[in-house]
Amino acid sequence: MKHVLESVESQFEMFQILNEDGKIVNKDDMPDLSDEELKELMRRMVYTRILDQRSIALNRQGRLGFYAPTAGQEASQLGSQFALEKDDFILPGYRDVPQLIWQGLPLYQAFLFSRGHFHGNQMPEGVNALSPQIIIGAQYVQTAGVALGIKKRGRKAVAVTYTGDGGTSQGDFYEGINFAGAYKAPALFFVQNNYFAISVPVEKQTNAKTLAQKAVAAGIEGIQVDGMDVLAVYAVTKHSRERAINGEGPTLIETLTYRYGPHTMAGDDPTRYRTEDLDNEWEKKDPLVRFRTFLEEKGIWSEEEENKVIEEAKDEIKQAIKKADEYPKQKVTDFIENMFEELPHNLQEQMEEYKEKESK
């Protein structure tokens, strides 16, 4: 029986296109992206890295609330989102705000989400997404339902969700992939394996050699990909999306990645569970460094272009936080109105009382 398990696990080898040195190692699976599309992908990664740095600074200044750092996971997050269409539906985890921003969520609303303002959770017209899920793994069950709804309506679209390695230990994870698999719902389930969840090493989360192999029990496709290689993530996402809209069912995609910062800015200290040597090892795999090298060798990216993106990001972030600062503060009546379509009698009375207080 041991040999059967080893045979299954050996099928899930990491898919890669660009190695750590920015060299193509899998030319046959190179995605068909124009030079302009490649540059746009790099622009988004650079912009998002600056956004992460500024968000950490704003959090420390007390100008943002909850924040989960994203540096190191740009290839996993943006490579996957870049392969989506506007009709696709994103159900993010709390670290996946960048995907929402590039799908169309205004930056100032992302800042309001961090502050706990209800407007930060209101998706603009045409942005098919739910607000970031705080309950770990819950988005997997929701994604199965959204994907089934897409199928029943005959739409050529997919529902896409993200969790981390720790999320695979939740019951919702298994329920979601099993339900979607049973109905061949058009869903893409991402597991961004950064190896430590909040602080627990992945080898203590599971005895499985890979997280991608968990797809086997649900009877769905499973793929493990180098999550620091933006081209590989893009290619896998595009392939899996095409399978889904063609009625071939969902895919579980494990991206091997690493978050350089803490789990969140709420007091986590990664030095308590990660070594400096391990951090240094993963810094050599930085997704921006390897993709930058690749583009520079193609002659389509330069330090001047990157600096332009950095300044653009800083300026837009400055304007967005200013807009968030100026946005009307939440009121008790806002919460009451947003909770109910038709107010119960007792809340109607409270609403009048609060409106009177707020008018003074």
Catalytic residues: 259, 263, 273
Q: How is residue 165 annotated by DSSP?
A: G
Question: 3-state class of 275 per DSSP?
Answer: coil
Q: Are strands 187-193 and 221-226 parallel, antiparallel or unpaired?
A: unpaired
Could you tell me if 197 and 209 are in contact, meaning their C-beta atoms sit under 8 angstroms apart? Answer: no
Rounded CA gap, 45 and 261, in Å? 16
Please count the CA atoms within 13 angstroms of the CA of 104 that sit on its side-chain side: 16
Give the residue among 12, 53, 56, 85 at the shortest CA–CA distance from 288.
53
Nearest CA to 81 out of 98, 68, 61, 63 is that of 98
Element (H, E) at 218: helix 215-218
> Are the C-beta atoms of residues 77 and 132 closer than 8 Å to each other?
no
Rounded Cα distance, 17 and 235, in Å = 9
HSE-CB at 313 with a 13 A cutoff on CA atoms is 20
Adjacent-strand bridge partners of 89: 159
Please tell me whether residue 222 adopts helix, strand or coil conformation.
strand
Q: Which of 148, 136, 245, 143 is nearest to 192 (CA)?
A: 136
Measured between alpha carbons, how far is 315 from 311 in angstroms, rounded to an integer? 6
